[in-house]
Structure 1
Amino acid sequence: MTVHPFIEAEKQAGHNVKRACELLKVSRAAFYARRTATPGSRAVRDAELTEKITEVHATSRGTYGAPRVHAVLQCDGDRCGQRRVARLMRQAGLEGRHRRRRQRTTIPDPRAATRPDLVLRDFQPHPAALDARWCGDITYIPTDEGWLYLATVIDIASRRVVGWATADHLRTELVAGALRAACHTRRPTGPVIFHSDRGCQGGFN
Structure 2
Amino acid sequence: MCELLEVSRTAFYARRTAKPGLRAVRDAELTGQIAEVHARSRGTYGAPRIHAVLKREGALCGRRRVARLMRAAGLEGRYRRRRHLTTVPDSRAATRPDLVLRQFGPDLVGVDTRWCGDITYVPTAEGWLYLATVIDIASRRVIGWATADHLRTDLVNLGYRSPAEYETALAA
Task: Return the TM-score normalized by structure 1.
Answer: 0.63
What corresponds to 1:143 in structure 2? 124
Q: 2:32 matched to 1:51?
A: yes
Residue 129, structure 1, aligned to residue 110, structure 2? yes
Unmatched 5+ stretches in structure 2: 1-17
Greater radius of gyration (CA): 2
Alignment match, 1:7: none
Q: Which runs of 4+ in 1 moved over 6 A?
A: none
Q: How many residues align?
A: 152
Q: 1:98 aligns with which of 74, 79, 93?
A: 79
After superposition, the Cα gap between the structure-2 partners of 1:83 and 1:162, relative to the gap in structure 1 and judged at 3 Å, is: farther
Cα deviation, residue 162, structure 1 = 2.6
> Is residue 2:110 matched to residue 1:163?
no
Q: Structure 1 residues 155, 55: closer, same or farther in 2, change over 3 A? A: same
1:5 corresponds in structure 2 to none
Pairing 1:1-205 to 2, within 5 Å after superposition: 38=20, 41-180=22-161, 184-186=165-167
- Could you tell me how far apart the structure 2 residues matched to 1:44 and 1:182 are? 75
CA contact (8 A) 1:152 1:161 kept: yes
Q: Larger RCO: Structure 1 or Structure 2 (Cα < 8 Å, ≥ 6 residues apart)? A: 1
Cα drift, residue 168 of structure 1: 1.9
Are the equivalent residues in 1 in contact too, given 2:120–2:130 (CA < 8 A)? Answer: yes
* Gap change, CA 1:58 and 1:183, over 3 Å in 2: farther
The alpha-carbon deviation at position 59 of structure 1 amounts to 2.0
Q: Distance in 1 between matches of 2:128 and 2:86?
A: 11
In the alignment, the residues of structure 1 paired with residue 80 and residue 110 of structure 2 have an alpha-carbon distance, to the nearest angstrom, of 42
Scaled by the length of structure 2, the TM-score of the pair is 0.73
- Distance (Å, rounded) in 2 between the aligned partners of 1:37 and 1:138: 64
Letter in 1 for 2:154: E
**Unpaired stretches in structure 1, ≥5 consecutive residues:** 1-35, 189-205
Identity value in percent: 70
Q: Distance in 2 between matches of 1:42 and 1:183?
A: 79
Q: Which amino acid is the alignment partner of residue 66 of structure 1?
A: A
SS at match of 2:28: helix
**Could you say what the CA RMSD is over the residues aligned between the two structures, in angstroms?**
2.8
1:117, distance to aligned residue in structure 2 (A): 1.0
Q: Aligned partners of 1:55 and 1:159: how far apart in 2?
A: 50
Deviations 1:47-92 (A, max 9, x none): 2112221222122121112222223223333232333322322333
